[in-house]
A and B are shown apart, each in its own frame.
Chain A
């Protein structure tokens, strides 16, 4: 079969945690052969990162690891040994991309700098994901999700006026960097296919987070205004109207309107949507009118919304052309009729976890489609297969393992 789309690429993923593995999984999802390289001792630290299947902190049961490393083959390799480095060089020879997230200068110190890698395979695209990038005064600083949210301005812009800045609860900055690494690596591969020239990509996770928040810097750069996180009339919405933020529904939370949707400005239509003609009120007729009576509006609408089941409201409002949202829980997502009809979940069999299902297709690319070709590897699962392809016999693989090389 001719290899097309991303199926033509072989990607080495020696990264750990969330960002690099997520990027590499995107390639695996759309057909690339991805080889995940882990240390022989403990493997990727994500194996010890929760949540765990049945809350059992077993290295093969981390659900974070499972999700991020599906569609990959897993091998072990010790780069601290000379033989391990030689094997790594052999793998580089036959690969199109390498994704790594070691500390600054680590690969250089092993004699595996980009200059040396380029000598071995000038066409390879090396994507290096680091906390703050490969130069600058913070190059060697520690990084983590909390610090990226702090530096990027996301935190300063979030939370309540009278309280401390608020981080997003999910470590979203790490996922952000993963998406960015995936497209940057793919662009590098596009050049490599056309010109035969590989390259080195230096990606900063802190800057990835900052790239999601241009609005505050733009206001400063355009007119010196320094944005703060919320109006004093505390509500979670920029306008100070509670129901334009997140409000309680009967069975959870929702965002009832975003800028009044299609019927922006027309209170009568909103009253009709709620099926409550008795609350029609000329004081709220236009956007400008409402601005004069924000608190009254909240007083009237909040109790009504609080009685409504969130999906009932959502389907009614969206079906009528409004822009509404519901705070979906993980339970809602797993039972979502929209995701179900788009076949978002795939039943899989994991050697340790057993039968389960995993979330899937990111976008629909009909001619080079998303697919599940394998679940996350157990530690060193594909050593025999991958090293066999490099020419090592089964006995040699066993010896390498005994020596601690793999």
Chain B
């Protein structure tokens, strides 16, 4: 059987991380996702390049871009031109869904707002992603994923104990929003399939975030309490934290949730005398004496290998896991057996070769999802979309290239340099560079 969204065509008029994430998952599920890009905009300088080499087509070689755009069909349209706006509408005519994340009002100004597009495709599902939604006093405020970690209330919980809040190192908020957009589009598709009606979805990042904090918000409503940071500790469980292991910056997470798990941990530690002391006799005492407990467990873990120890503890029934970095996770045996990463071979022109990309955290038994193609090169599918799909003849397409309505090479490509990785290691944003990564990954 084919993918769950086979036969659904979706227009991707988005940038950044959150919505591209939603759209690449829809592509994995078999939707034809057409990413509308532009060759007239600045293509940026930074990037995560293969072998740290920007190469000849650096705009097609960024690892983050290639992760977020995988599986999509790519066209370019210079929407400053009327012909491009008309071509955009022609794509809408043969599509089911459009997702856009421009500031409110931008699509209207381009003549591509909901009313304009509904006129050409009455049952269109049109999702507008903004920071705060289309109504309310904050409606015109900008929104990017990273700020919502703070503004949605998540940061009130994040930080070392006794200190102020601290940003989490990654922008996981974008993904929350992306997955929720997939749910929203599917709800609208279910509605369309039963009624024939399309609709406009007002999709605000802010509200998605607050929805994942329902328990905290209700704590304030009921008890007048706001959150505070507890580091890695837990309100009533101890041990609950990370402990240093053998090597540079290697750690293991260990927790026990009941007496059986605690006994198993004590057993694995070789039943040291201190573990029999009265002050660690029950969960409440262990929680009250956790400073000392953490010290003692840390003394035991510090000369052990993080991965071996985690495996050993789990086999004995103790919740434990290595604190993994990007390499640990990419090479983890469980993740390998689950085939969480998929091998994707890029177009020869990009000179990227084969890379691994994360798949999905689920497996559907009858409609398996997979990465159907590498991220498109700029304008790669102009001929397919404008020619095969819309039926524009070759002469017309040639004219579109001539008048810069479409293009395959960026007008302002910028100049990309390799990242100074050694300097980044010195600054501390990286721990090391592994020269054998390709061999270890089998690419």
Q: Do A and B come from one complex?
A: yes
> B159-198: which have CB < 8 Å to A?
159-160, 164-170, 172, 175-176, 179-180, 182-184, 186-191, 193-195, 197
**Consensus secondary structure, chain B interface:** mixed
> A182-232: which have CB < 8 Å to B?
182-184, 186-191, 193-195, 197-208, 210-232
Is A402 located at the chain interface by the 8 A CB criterion?
no
Is B218 located at the chain interface by the 8 A CB criterion?
yes
Known contacts A143-B319, A327-B150, then 7 further A-B pairs from the complex at CB < 8 Å, ordered by chain A residue: A6-B187, A201-B362, A207-B338, A217-B329, A220-B330, A226-B326, A325-B147
Are A359 and B214 in contact, with the CB atoms below 8 A? yes
Q: Which of B230, B241, B437 contacts A223 (CB 8 A)?
A: B437
CB distance from A233 to the nearest CB of B (A): 8
Are B428 and A231 in contact, with the CB atoms below 8 A? yes
Chain B contact patch, size range: 35 or more
- A255-B167 Cα distance, complex, nearest whole Å: 9
Is B273 located at the chain interface by the 8 A CB criterion?
no
- A9-B194 Cα distance, complex, nearest whole Å: 12
Q: For A142, give the chain B residue with the smallest CB separation.
A: B319
Q: Which of B190, B202, B362 contacts A186 (CB 8 A)?
A: B190
- A226-B30 Cα distance, complex, nearest whole Å: 33
List the B side residues contacting A321 at CB < 8 Å: 142
With known contacts A159-B169, A246-B165, A187–B358 Cβ distance under 8 A: no
List the B side residues contacting A170 at CB < 8 Å: 154, 157-158, 212-213, 216, 227
List the B side residues contacting A203 at CB < 8 Å: 361-362
List the A side residues contacting B219 at CB < 8 Å: 51, 63, 330
CB distance from B432 to the nearest CB of A (A): 5
Is A155 located at the chain interface by the 8 A CB criterion?
yes
List the A side residues contacting B153 at CB < 8 Å: 327-330, 332-333
Q: Which of A269-277, A296-304, A334-342 contacts B (4 or more CB under 8 A)?
A: A334-342
Shortest 6 CB-CB contacts between residues of A and residues of B: A169-B157, A216-B326, A157-B169, A207-B361, A67-B214, A325-B147
Is B337 located at the chain interface by the 8 A CB criterion?
yes
CB distance from B365 to the nearest CB of A (A): 4
Are A254 and B427 in contact, with the CB atoms below 8 A? no
Are B244 and A8 in contact, with the CB atoms below 8 A? no
With known contacts A142-B318, A195-B1, A51–B194 Cβ distance under 8 A: no
Q: Offer 28 A-B interface pairs, CB within 8 angstroms, sorted by A.
A: A5-B191, A63-B218, A136-B333, A142-B261, A151-B322, A151-B332, A166-B158, A169-B231, A170-B154, A175-B176, A183-B182, A184-B360, A202-B362, A207-B338, A208-B361, A221-B355, A224-B436, A231-B429, A232-B428, A258-B144, A262-B142, A328-B152, A333-B220, A338-B206, A342-B133, A359-B210, A363-B202, A363-B207
List the B side residues contacting A104 at CB < 8 Å: none
Q: Which of B176, B261, B338 contacts A179 (CB 8 A)?
A: B176
List the A side residues contacting B190 at CB < 8 Å: 4-6, 8-9, 186, 189-190, 193, 368
- A327-B163 Cα distance, complex, nearest whole Å: 14
With known contacts A4-B191, A5-B194, A332-B153, A211–B361 Cβ distance under 8 A: yes
List the B side residues contacting A197 at CB < 8 Å: 1, 366
List the A side residues contacting B314 at CB < 8 Å: 138, 141-142
> A225-260: which have CB < 8 Å to B?
225-233, 236-238, 240, 245-246, 248, 253-255, 258
List the A side residues contacting B86 at CB < 8 Å: none
Is A324 located at the chain interface by the 8 A CB criterion?
yes
Are B421 and A223 in contact, with the CB atoms below 8 A? yes
Are A204 and B362 in contact, with the CB atoms below 8 A? yes
Q: Which of A278-286, A350-358, A387-395 contacts B (4 or more CB under 8 A)?
A: A350-358
Are B366 and A191 in contact, with the CB atoms below 8 A? yes
Is B124 located at the chain interface by the 8 A CB criterion?
no
Are A228 and B428 in contact, with the CB atoms below 8 A? yes
List the A side residues contacting B4 at CB < 8 Å: 187-188, 190-191
Are B133 and A159 in contact, with the CB atoms below 8 A? no
CB distance from A334 to the nearest CB of B (A): 5
Q: Which of B75-83, B249-257, B376-384, B400-408 contacts A (4 or more CB under 8 A)?
A: B249-257
Are B179 and A180 in contact, with the CB atoms below 8 A? yes
Is A10 located at the chain interface by the 8 A CB criterion?
no
- A177-B176 Cα distance, complex, nearest whole Å: 9
Are B361 and A186 in contact, with the CB atoms below 8 A? no
- A6-B49 Cα distance, complex, nearest whole Å: 43
Are A210 and B63 in contact, with the CB atoms below 8 A? no
List the A side residues contacting B253 at CB < 8 Å: 146-147, 149-150, 155, 167
Q: Which of A54, A223, A332, A342 contacts B51 (CB 8 A)?
A: A223
With known contacts A144-B319, A177-B361, A156–B324 Cβ distance under 8 A: yes
CB distance from B295 to the nearest CB of A (A): 13
Are A212 and B176 in contact, with the CB atoms below 8 A? yes
Q: For B51, give the chain A residue with the smallest CB separation.
A: A223
Chain B proximity mask over A154-184: 1 for CB below 8 Å, otherwise 0: 1111111101111111101001110111111
CB distance from A179 to the nearest CB of B (A): 4
List the B side residues contacting A219 at CB < 8 Å: 48, 63, 326, 430
Are A224 and B435 in contact, with the CB atoms below 8 A? yes
With known contacts A220-B437, A327-B156, A236–B166 Cβ distance under 8 A: yes
Are B206 and A167 in contact, with the CB atoms below 8 A? no
